[in-house]
Amino acid sequence: MEMLQNADFWIGLMKIVWINIILSGDNAVVIALAARSLPENQQRQAILFGSGAAVVLRIALTVVAAALLELSYLQIIGGILLLYIGAQLLSEDGDEEEGDVEKASLMVAIRTILIADLVMSLDNVIAVAAAAKGNTTLLMLGLAISIPMVVFGSAIMIKLMARFPIIVTFGACLIGWVGGETIASDVVLREFSEANPWLHYVAATAGALAVLAIGKYFQTKHASEEKSDESV
């Protein structure tokens, strides 16, 4: 109870909540993209399970994030994963499945959310940990408060994507942008990146364009295969 009467506690909590509001935008986009092709009832499940698991994952990452960021090639691998996820989400046709396939699709969506959040949160959690200043209770409370923010943001994004399909393309490109930035931030490229700040922008742009090109290619390929099947 003494902690709740401490002004520093509330200031720290507000910092963590605010940081999560700022940093959770791309996570909401990933969740919305991964869940948009599911039936409506499964969309809610994917958002809730994905958001909750992502926050728990962030709490666990806080302990080891700083050490992980010092491992060579880890962010390069993570960035490539994000590029793959972005292209995959963009290339999905959005057909609703039934039966066991529905369950598989739900698990695939949750898995996609977790993998993307794992990669995108490595450097983000350091900012949250700094605001918490070693207070585990404050850290967990602040992250728990962020769950409804991510859930609410994801639900809105799914509705917007259904109404304005172009947002799906922008969302996938955002994941590619973050993927490119992640690659450029790897330890093996740190010195070069510091000497050449333009690398982050070039890598981010290249990541977004790569996701767009690969995603559109597979969209076109899938459409052609459907037409061939219909004509047979």
pLDDT tens per residue, range 9-50: 677 777 776 766 666 667 778 888 888 878 888 888 888 887
Q: Is 61 within the bounds of a domain?
A: yes
Q: How many domains does the chain have?
A: 1
Of 119, 137, 142, 94, which is closest to residue 150 (Cα–Cα)? Answer: 142
Domain presence at residue 91: yes
Alpha-helical (H) ranges within 24-135 are 25-35, 40-68, 74-91, 99-121, 124-132
Residue at 67 is within a domain: yes
Indicate whether 182 belongs to any domain: yes
Domain assignment of residue 230, yes or no = no
Q: Is residue 21 part of a domain?
A: yes
Angle formed by the axes of helices 25-35 and 40-68, nearest 10°: 140
Closest by Cα among 190, 159, 175, 201 to 115: 175
Domain boundaries, position 168: 3-225
Q: Would the pTM count as exceeding 0.75? A: no
Residue 170 maps to a domain: yes
- Taking the C-alpha atoms of residue 231 and residue 229, their distance in angstroms, rounded to an integer, is 6
pLDDT tens across 155-206, in order? 888 888 888 888 889 888 988 998 898 899 888 998 898 899 899 899 999 9
CA dihedral 130→134→136→137, nearest 10 degrees, is -90
Residue 119 lies in a domain: yes
Q: What is the pLDDT, as a whole number, of residue 165? A: 85
- The predicted structure's pLDDT at residue 100: 44
**How big is the chain, counted in residues?**
232
